[in-house]
């Protein structure tokens, strides 16, 4: 953080209640479950396969209050109402009143999509029925604390049996563009092979369905702690840290598989709470039969490096990092200096090292089949600073371009949720920074050339930006423009350099 900048701590978002439907049908002697493909334009999990569902809205609560007889024997009335409304809106499926299911006309789907309160009216007038609808709750999952919008999601098994229902899309705009019935084991295999993308809560749920089946899950629906699997061999461990808002955590990653070798990336634990979280995760890793063979740090900023003296009390492993990062750590003979082109092997998987120094000298990323562990290059929410003290805006922009050119399937950032559409995010970052570059250059030409005047003009479009942060970032842009030969500094003023 630049000198003189103090920002209020961010609050971890409170989870909102939601409900999702795991719709199944019989297929010969086997069972299939329905997943929906999210369109590439949605901000959350684009191009992922997901179960239909959504948040419990004000309309759902009002419907429950106005109709006390609906699901009166159940404590999860609001969840069931939201579940039925979402099933109708998103896939056009509704109960038929006799324990079965039916497809709903597109016109009715459109009516409810346009106005959610229409669903309750259609039930009250008898056009839709909720009679004999009794889905089984099979699990409850809560969004990790790294997300700005979190859900406490109840997943229900909606068994349609031999019913010949087929999902359909409404005629208007929707978050889905395709449906597919999957055998659970085949879906899990496709995810393990990086062929499909699934939101983290649904990965462990599908594992449970394959291993236990719906009946066992319904007997004692699991809730509470679950592993956060971003991709096969990439697990998130959110570590509470003192970092730049809106982030409240640093993303520590566990690379590798249970029972095999594992590597921890950026175990940033310093507080008592954070150290306890990390200690519990290490114990879980070791109980699975795994051995932690290395600790990797993406860069040297304190919100990515934990209290090593305390961490060493519950696990020890060689530290792999760049020479710049190792220089700020206690020396150890087992340390390994990482640089461009190096490869880290975790059993039969390889992670390549690339250098992206712009945010911080010695910053590295890890490139694997699953995606890129990208540190502090880009985040889905908030911003990335390029400190004028030791960052380099030109190198930062070059690093973003390089990451985009690698075209990863997923980005595993240093803070916040994983990035499901890296190309879109990196393109947005590049566009924003290049536009700021132009604004700073224009401000040099049209102002008195002082840093304060340049900052005010270049950041006129973001009046809520912290003045000292804006000043520091303007200075980073000025240094980059000077490096490129576009401007020069004379007597404390920045001057435009005219071309030939």
Give the pLDDT score at 6: 63
Give the pLDDT score at 500: 52
Q: Is the peptide bond before 246 cis (omega within 30 degrees of 0)?
A: yes
Q: Please report which residue ranges of 391-485 form alpha helices under DSSP H.
A: 393-406, 422-446, 451-458, 467-483
Give the pLDDT score at 8: 66
> Distance between CA 338 and CA 375 in Å, rounded?
15
Q: What is 16-226's CATH superfamily?
A: Nucleoside Triphosphate Pyrophosphohydrolase (3.90.79.10)
Q: In CATH terms, is domain 229-420 a member of 3.40.30.10?
A: no
Distant-in-sequence contacts of 443-449, Cβ < 8 A, 24+ apart: 444/478, 444/481, 444/487, 444/494, 444/495, 444/496, 445/496, 448/493, 449/493, 449/494, 449/495
> Distance between CA 286 and CA 173 in Å, rounded?
48
Opening angle at CA 234, ends 232 and 237, nearest 5:
140
Q: Which run of H or of E encompasses 211? A: helix 200-212
The pTM of this model reads: 0.94
Q: What is the 3-state secondary structure (H, E, C) of 283-342?
A: HHHHHCCCEEEEEECCCCCCCCCCCHHHHCCCCCCCEEECHHHHCCCCCCCCCEECCCCC
> Distance between CA 271 and CA 372 in Å, rounded?
28
The per-residue pLDDT string of the chain (500 residues; one tens digit each, 9 = 90 and over) reads 555 566 667 889 899 999 999 999 998 889 999 999 999 888 788 889 999 999 999 999 999 999 999 999 999 999 999 999 999 999 999 999 999 999 999 999 999 999 999 999 999 999 999 999 999 999 999 999 998 889 999 999 999 988 788 999 999 878 999 999 999 999 999 999 999 999 999 999 999 999 999 999 999 999 989 999 999 999 999 999 999 888 999 999 999 999 999 999 999 999 999 999 999 999 999 999 999 999 999 999 999 999 999 999 999 999 999 999 999 999 988 999 999 999 999 999 999 999 999 999 999 999 999 999 999 999 999 899 999 999 999 999 999 999 999 999 999 999 999 999 999 999 999 999 999 999 999 999 999 999 999 999 999 999 888 899 999 999 999 999 999 999 999 999 999 998 65
- Per domain, the residue ranges of the chain are 16-226, 229-420, 434-496
Provide φ and ψ at 342, rounded to 5°: -70, 160
Dihedral sign, Cα of residue 367, residue 370, residue 373, residue 374: positive
Dihedral sign, Cα of residue 417, residue 423, residue 428, residue 430: positive
User: Which structure tokens are listed for 435?
Assistant: 């536009």
> Distance between CA 219 and CA 212 in Å, rounded?
11
- Angle 106-114/77-91 helices, nearest 10 degrees? 120
| CATH domain 434-496 topology | Arc Repressor Mutant, subunit A (1.10.10)
């Amino acid at each position: 953080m630049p000198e003189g900048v103090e920002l209020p701590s961010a609050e971890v978002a409170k989870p909102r209640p939601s409900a999702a439907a795991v719709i199944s049908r019989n297929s010969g002697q086997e069972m299939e479950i329905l997943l929906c493909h999210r369109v590439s334009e949605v901000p959350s999990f684009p191009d992922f396969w997901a179960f239909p569902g959504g948040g419990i809205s004000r309309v759902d609560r009002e419907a429950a209050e106005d109709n006390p007889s609906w699901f009166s024997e159940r404590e999860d009335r609001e969840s069931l109402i939201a579940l039925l409304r979402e099933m109708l809106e998103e896939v056009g499926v509704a109960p038929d009143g006799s324990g079965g299911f039916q497809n709903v006309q597109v016109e009715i789907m459109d009516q409810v999509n346009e106005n959610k309160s229409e669903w309750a009216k259609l039930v009250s007038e008898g056009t839709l029925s909720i009679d004999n609808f009794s889905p089984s709750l099979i699990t409850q999952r809560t969004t990790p604390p790294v997300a700005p919008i979190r859900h406490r999601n109840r997943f229900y098994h909606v068994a349609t049996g031999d019913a010949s229902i087929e999902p359909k899309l409404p005629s208007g705009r929707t978050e889905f563009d395709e449906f597919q019935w999957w055998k659970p084991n085949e879906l899990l295999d496709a995810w393990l092979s990086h062929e499909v993308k699934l939101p983290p809560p649904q990965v462990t749920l599908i594992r449970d369905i394959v291993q236990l089946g719906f009946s066992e899950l319904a007997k004692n629906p699991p809730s509470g702690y679950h592993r956060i699997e971003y991709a096969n061999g990439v697990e998130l461990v959110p570590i509470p840290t003192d970092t730049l808002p809106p982030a409240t955590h640093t993303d520590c990653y566990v690379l590798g598989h249970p029972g095999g070798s594992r590597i921890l990336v950026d175990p940033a634990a310093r507080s008592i709470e954070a150290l306890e979280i990390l200690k519990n995760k290490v114990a879980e890793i070791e109980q699975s039969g795994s051995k932690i063979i290395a600790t990797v740090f993406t860069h040297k900023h304190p919100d990515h490096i934990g209290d090593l003296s305390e961490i060493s009390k519950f696990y020890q492993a060689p530290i792999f990092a760049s020479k710049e990062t190792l220089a700020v750590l206690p020396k150890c003979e087992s340390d390994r200096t990482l640089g461009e082109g190096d490869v880290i092997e975790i059993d039969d998987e390889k992670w390549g090292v690339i250098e992206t120094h712009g945010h911080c000298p010695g910053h590295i990323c890890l490139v694997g089949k699953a995606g890129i562990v990208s540190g502090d290059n880009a985040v889905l929410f908030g911003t990335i600073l390029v400190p004028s003290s030791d960052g380099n805006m030109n190198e930062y922009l070059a690093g973003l371009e390089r990451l985009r050119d690698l075209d990863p399937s997923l980005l595993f950032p240093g803070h916040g949720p994983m990035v499901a559409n890296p190309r879109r995010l990196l393109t947005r970052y590049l566009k924003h920074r290049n536009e700021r570059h132009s604004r700073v250059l224009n401000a040099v030409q049209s102002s008195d050339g002082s840093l304060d005047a340049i900052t005010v003009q270049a950041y006129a479009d973001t009046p809520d930006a912290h003045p000292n942060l804006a000043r520091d970032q303007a200075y980073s842009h000025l240094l980059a423009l000077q490096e490129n030969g576009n401007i020069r500094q004379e007597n404390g003023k920045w001057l435009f350099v005219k071309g030939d």
